Amino acid sequence: MDKAWLAAQSEKSYLKVAGWIQRVRDAVSGNRSPLLTWCLDYPSPDHAPRFTHSGRVVQGWVLLDPEKADTLSRVRIICHLQPAFELCCPLELKRLDVIERILQQPADGHEQLSCGFRFTVPPDLHSFNLSFELDGQRWPLQRIEVEPAVAENTLLKVIKGHNDWLFLDNDTNFSIDQFTGRLQLTTRGLKSWEAYVDALKNGFGAQRSPAVMLVAPTKESVMGHYHPMTAAAVSPLDPVFALFPPGLLLHPVSELRDTLGDEAFFKTDTHWTHRGGSLAAALVARKLGLSAEHLDRLLASDRYRVRNHAGDLGSKLEPRMAAPASFLTSFHYGKWVVYDNGLPNFGRVIVIQYPDALEEGCCLVFGSSSSYSMFNYLSRFFRQLVFVHTAGNLDPSLIDAVAPDYLIVQTNARFMIRPPIADYNLKNTIIEKQDSLDCTAIERQAQIRKVSDLELVTSLGLEPWHVPVSAIDHEAAV
């Protein structure tokens, strides 16, 4: 007897039994699933793992009960990644093999032909859960546990768009999935954002400084016409932006696109250009009440020079790719830095004092990587600029201690799938970061660290966040 025929009959029998068991379970629970059966092709113990430039491939198919076949286009496969966000993937792949082998029906024109799904997850993700969703109802499918077969840093994190514009790919913030709309915030994620926005609106203690939250747009949202993929009609961050009162939020997508065009972002970098940082800084300052006329007059005298720039994307390519970009040459904030603890990323504290600034007051910035290109401008707007690298996380004790005249909260849009918190402990971050540095990082910190006016740091209320590093501080003092 034909072995293939026997295998097919065995598979059909299994499906009947499995379907019967599922229907019994659903009948008991009162929540009947429309799912007939499903299969996960990758990852699977039966196949070697598959990877693309975007990460680990997750691929499979689902079949519905015949009476529910007309709802197939509304089915979503949910990949639970973190409590705050998840992937929501439609059935987009035509699977002739499934229709012909499993249902033993002609595939041509079959109503469940597009029953396949495929997406990628980071290669270092060890485990995740899959669920089946239809019209707002969900049923669990499987928990996936895998061994990391490919180191994350061996996968290219760059995708090349039209006219050689470079964009992020395979990053921990799922930039591609955000752009295409496959990533969405969970109910828990949105509730965390609600709590954070409430904290921003209500202020902290007696401190009621003029405040604004600046969200640096993703490069894709401004330069999307160069991106090789199609943007979703609705951004996963739209529900978050809707939580903010208009006067508190600045997300300058249209301003950057309409005012600067191709000069808004580096062609080979994820960040906005110096001109982009200038525009963002001016928009923030206006929201904080500074005179538009004074700001325009100050910035009109700025001079720029074009040079090649590889950035955080072009430097990842082989060969390295660079493109011309304009850089401010008439001013550099570095001359006016009086304090810099030199820590990499989170936990870094920088104090800039520029005596000829437009405003006498102190501006406190809880910022991220996009803030750095704004220092050349913000430091000329506010006499004292205090920057802490927290990506928008707020430390109320720091706000109370500094009592700033102005408060800027800055994060990057691609980070917002992980809601920031309003009870951040900056001091603990600084101590933990300092203790975790290896020899190479300590040497790098020694080259950056600057403590030239500790008296000013103390007067600004920052002394509790100054963690002395004896050898480094001694060399700085000498």
> Domains of the chain, with CATH numbers?
33-153 (2.60.40), 175-477 (no CATH)
What are the structure tokens assigned to 395, written together? Answer: 């430390």
419: closest CA among 247, 91, 201, 189? 189
Q: At CA 396, angle to CA 394 and CA 397, rounded to 5? A: 125
**Predicted local confidence at residue 129, as pLDDT:** 96
Cα atoms found within 13 Å of the Cα of residue 441, Cβ hemisphere only: 11
Report the C-alpha gap between 102 and 12 in whole angstroms: 7
Amino acid residing at 389: H
Using DSSP, how many helices (H) and how many strands (E) does the chain show?
A: 16, 21
> Integer distance in angstroms from the first to the last C-alpha of the chain?
91
**Predicted local confidence at residue 472, as pLDDT:** 53
**Predicted local confidence at residue 459, as pLDDT:** 94
Question: In this structure, what is the dihedral angle of CA atoms 394, 398, 400, 406, given to the nearest 10 degrees?
Answer: -70
275: closest CA among 263, 287, 257, 293? 263
Residue count of the chain, please give it.
478
Q: What is the DSSP string of 70-89?
A: GGGGGEEEEEEEETTEEEEE
For 234-354, strand residue ranges (E) read: 249-250, 304-309, 323-328, 337-340, 349-353
What are the structure tokens assigned to 441, written together? Answer: 């990082």
For residue range 137-172, list pLDDT tens digits in order: 999 999 999 987 654 444 568 999 999 999 998 788
Report the C-alpha gap between 96 and 386 in whole angstroms: 61
Print pLDDT tens along the chain (478 aa).
Answer: 444 443 444 444 434 444 444 444 554 445 688 999 999 999 999 888 998 878 899 999 999 999 999 999 999 999 999 999 999 999 999 999 999 999 999 999 999 999 999 999 988 888 999 999 999 999 999 999 998 765 444 456 899 999 999 999 878 889 999 999 999 999 999 999 999 999 988 865 445 678 999 999 999 999 999 999 999 999 999 999 999 998 899 999 999 999 999 999 999 999 999 999 999 999 999 999 999 999 999 999 999 999 999 999 999 999 999 999 999 999 999 999 999 999 999 999 999 999 999 999 999 999 999 999 999 999 999 999 999 999 999 999 999 999 999 999 999 999 999 999 999 999 999 999 999 999 999 999 999 999 999 999 999 999 999 988 764 554 444 4
Q: How many CB atoms lie within 10 A of CB 249?
A: 19
Contact call for residues 415 and 389 (beta carbons, < 8 A): no
Amino acid residing at 401: A
For residue range 366-406, list pLDDT tens digits in order: 999 999 999 999 999 999 999 999 999 999 999 999 999 99
Contact call for residues 263 and 287 (beta carbons, < 8 A): no
Report the C-alpha gap between 177 and 184 in whole angstroms: 9
Report the C-alpha gap between 145 and 336 in whole angstroms: 52
The residue behind tokens 């499918």 is 141
Chain mean pLDDT for the chain: 89
